[in-house]
């Protein structure tokens, strides 16, 4: 009996190489997915960092936010002067006028220009000899009793002319500058023209009444403003009492200021009274009030009212002068970064109110330069945080201190890089999402590999 034939066994094909290739493809696919996911995570985290660090830079001072102040049409108290003007040198224009171009006798406020030209052209310590003409008294005119042949310094003559309104002292100064009073009057008129005075003519140095000797409130306001830019003249006219030492022909003289005697003029930095009678008097002053510099003039008014009227005008100068409130005490000035805080940015405020009056009323004429301190949490409100300096038309006006406005506590480690806590939360969320997706990818990869084995 023949034994049954055993079927021939076929060997299974060898798929090892194919499986290895499939596993490699799976690994490459998921590796690329992990790399892509990681890159996306880095891009997202970087975007958060860039947006919160760079795009939110601390705000600087905003000129557009400055508050407009002053109204030229604001009401002004009535005054009795025949002519008057308030001139603002910041704006280089009048802010109040009454018959400002009417020709009126200036009287002794003429000596303001006399004093200016003397200070500008003479050595104050120079000794001059008094002429017969200068020593000749004017009838009922004010005098410091100079004598012909007396030797006296220019400085003493200036105090004599500006404090006691000595007509003789003013004439002596004119002769010292130009050789004669007539030549000096020519110099006065030339200077007045250079300053833009179109309705002024002087024939003497002291303001003695003369039909050809006149000015206007506007012209005198210009003369006063320009003359008192001279610091020496300011100092002299703001002196209440001065003693002229003995000379070769006189004992010591004590001078008392006519301008500063009695009622004071508020905010005055220089000035001079004038008058012919008690009902025909004048006053011209330079003043400086809360950032406004200028001059105020009243012509042909009662002598007892002239200071009162000037005070009324200066009293409302802020109401009628257009300008800007650059900073307000406690008001926002800028922002600053805070290192290590729950907030990486804080607002800084001004410690004082500063007003400015740029030429042409242009905002661009105002600049605020900031110097922020390095701030680090924890931080208390009211902490000094730097300085600010206000410039108007290129000139420094005033400086102040920047102050913090809020308490800021310590933040996360990212706050050390000037990032707020919300940045940490966002980046933390991105990391958690990345980690979760990475785990999902790993699980998916393992399953895929098992299914292909």
Q: Find the helix packing angle between 181-194 and 167-178, rounded to 10°.
A: 80
pLDDT at res. 7 = 54
Q: Is 420 a residue whose pLDDT tops 90?
A: no
Q: How far apart are CA 159 and CA 236, in angstroms?
A: 6
The pLDDT of residue 430: 72
pLDDT (0 to 100) of residue 54: 47
Q: Is the pLDDT of residue 16 over 60?
A: yes
The answer on pLDDT for 29 being more than 60 is yes
- State residue 322's pLDDT score: 95
Instruction: Count CB-CB contacts under 10 A for residue 251.
Output: 8
Model confidence band, residue 239 (pLDDT cutoffs 50, 70, 90): very high
Q: Are 285 and 295 in contact (CB under 8 A)?
A: yes
Q: Which of 108, 131, 282, 412 is labelled catalytic? A: 108
Number of CB atoms found within 10 A of residue 224's CB: 27
Residue 402: pLDDT band with limits 50, 70, 90: very high
**CA dist., res. 229 & res. 90, Å (int):** 13
Q: What is the pLDDT of residue 382?
A: 95
Q: Average pLDDT in the 112-140 region?
A: 97
- Buried b / exposed e along 154-182 (16+ C-beta atoms within 10 A): bbbbbbbbbbbbbbbbbbbbbbbbbeebe
Q: Does the pLDDT of residue 269 top 90, yes or no?
A: yes
The domains of the chain, with CATH numbers, are 36-70+323-453 (2.60.410.10), 83-321 (3.40.710.10)
Pick from 45-49, 210-214, 240-244, 270-274: least confident: 45-49
Q: Which of 131, 153, 165, 227 is catalytic?
A: 165
Relative to beta strand 151-153, strand 93-98 is unpaired
Of the chain, the percentage scoring pLDDT greater than 70 comes to 85
* CA dist list (Å): 271 to 48, 124, 259: 65, 19, 7
Residue 300 pLDDT more than 50?
Answer: yes
- Residue 100: which of 292, 300, 278 has the closest Cα? 300
Cβ proximity of 371 and 401 under 8 Å: no
Which two tokens mark 36? 């892509």
165 carries an active-site annotation = yes
CB atoms within 10 A of CB 286: 27
The arithmetic mean of pLDDT across residues 251-268, rounded, is 95
What pLDDT does residue 1 have?
47
Q: How confident is the model at residue 56 (pLDDT cuts 50, 70, 90)?
A: low
Q: What percent of the chain has pLDDT over 90?
A: 70
pLDDT band at 31 (very low <50, low <70, confident <90, very high): confident
Q: Which helix (H) or strand (E) holds 391?
A: strand 384-392
Average pLDDT over residues 320-331: 95
In this model, does residue 45 exceed pLDDT 70? no
How much is the pLDDT for 345? Answer: 82
Sheet holding 93-98, edge to edge: 93-98, 83-88, 292-301, 280-289, 268-277
Quick one: average pLDDT of 88-106?
96
For all residues of the chain together, what is the average pLDDT?
Answer: 89
Cα 71 from Cα 320, distance rounded (Å) = 5
The string of DSSP codes covering 35-100 is HHHHHHHHHHHHHHHHHHHTTTPPP---GGGPEEE--TTS-------SEEEEEETTTTEEEEEEST
- Between CA 163 and CA 171, with CA 167 as vertex, the angle to 5 degrees is 115
pLDDT tens digit sequence for 221-237: 999 999 999 999 999 99
Per-residue pLDDT averaged across 189-200, rounded? 98
Per-residue pLDDT at 335: 92
CB atoms within 10 A of CB 281: 23
What is the average per-residue pLDDT within 37-47?
69
Which segment of 54-58, 83-87, 110-114, 403-407 scores lowest on mean pLDDT? Answer: 54-58
Residue 108 bears catalytic tag? yes
The average pLDDT across 297-318 equals: 97
Q: 111, 272, 307, 342: which one is catalytic?
A: 111
Q: What is the mean pLDDT of residues 357-367?
A: 91
pTM, whole model, 2 decimals? Answer: 0.77
Among 45, 48, 96, which Cα is nearest to 71's?
96
Residue 419 has pLDDT above 70, yes or no: no
d(CA 313, CA 78): 9
DSSP state for residue 363 in the 8-state scheme: G
3-state secondary structure of 425: helix
**Is the pLDDT reported for residue 434 higher than 90?**
no
């Amino acid at each position: 009996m023949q034994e049954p034939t055993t079927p021939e066994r076929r060997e299974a094909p060898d798929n090892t190489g194919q499986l290895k290739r499939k596993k490699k493809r799976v690994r490459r696919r998921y590796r690329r997915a992990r790399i892509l996911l990681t890159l996306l995570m880095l891009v997202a985290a970087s975007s958060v960092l860039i947006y919160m660090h760079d795009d939110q830079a601390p705000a600087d001072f905003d000129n557009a936010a400055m508050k407009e102040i002053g109204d030229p049409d604001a009401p002004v108290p009535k005054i009795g002067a025949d002519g008057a003007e308030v001139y603002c040198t910041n704006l280089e224009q009048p802010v109040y006028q009454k018959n400002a171009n009417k020709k009126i006798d200036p009287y002794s406020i003429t000596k303001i220009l006399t004093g200016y030209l003397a200070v500008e052209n003479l050595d104050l310590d120079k000794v001059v000899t008094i002429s017969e003409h200068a020593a000749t008294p004017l009838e009922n005119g004010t005098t410091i009793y100079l004598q012909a042949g007396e030797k006296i310094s220019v400085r003493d003559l200036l105090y004599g002319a500006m404090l006691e309104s000595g007509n003789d002292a003013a004439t002596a100064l004119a002769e010292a500058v130009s050789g004669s009073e007539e030549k000096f009057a020519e110099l006065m008129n030339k200077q007045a023209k250079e300053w833009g005075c179109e309705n002024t003519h002087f024939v003497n140095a002291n303001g003695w009444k003369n039909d050809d000797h006149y000015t206007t409130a506007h012209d005198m306001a210009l003369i006063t403003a320009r003359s008192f830019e001279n610091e020496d003249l300011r100092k002299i006219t703001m002196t209440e009492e001065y003693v002229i030492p003995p000379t070769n022909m006189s004992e010591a003289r004590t001078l008392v200021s006519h301008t500063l005697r009695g009622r004071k003029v508020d905010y005055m930095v220089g000035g001079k009274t004038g008058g012919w009678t008690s009902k025909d008097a004048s006053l011209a002053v330079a003043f400086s009030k809360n950032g406004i510099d200028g001059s105020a003039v009243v012509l042909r008014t009662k002598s007892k009212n002239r200071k009162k009227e000037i005070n009324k005008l200066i009293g409302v100068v802020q109401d009628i002068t257009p300008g800007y409130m650059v900073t307000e005490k406690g008001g926002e000035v800028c922002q600053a970064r805070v290192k290590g805080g729950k907030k990486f940015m804080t607002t800084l405020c001004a410690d004082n109110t500063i007003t400015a009056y740029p030429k042409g009323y242009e905002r661009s004429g105002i600049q605020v330069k900031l110097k922020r301190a390095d701030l680090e949490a924890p931080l208390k409100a009211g902490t000094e945080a730097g300085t600010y300096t206000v410039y108007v038309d290129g000139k420094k006006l005033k400086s102040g201190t920047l102050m913090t406005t809020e308490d800021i506590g310590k933040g996360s480690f990212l706050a050390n890089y000037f990032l707020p806590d919300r940045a940490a939360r966002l980046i933390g969320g991105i990391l958690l999402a990345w980690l979760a997706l990475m785990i999902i990818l790993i699980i998916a990869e393992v399953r895929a590999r098992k299914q292909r084995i």
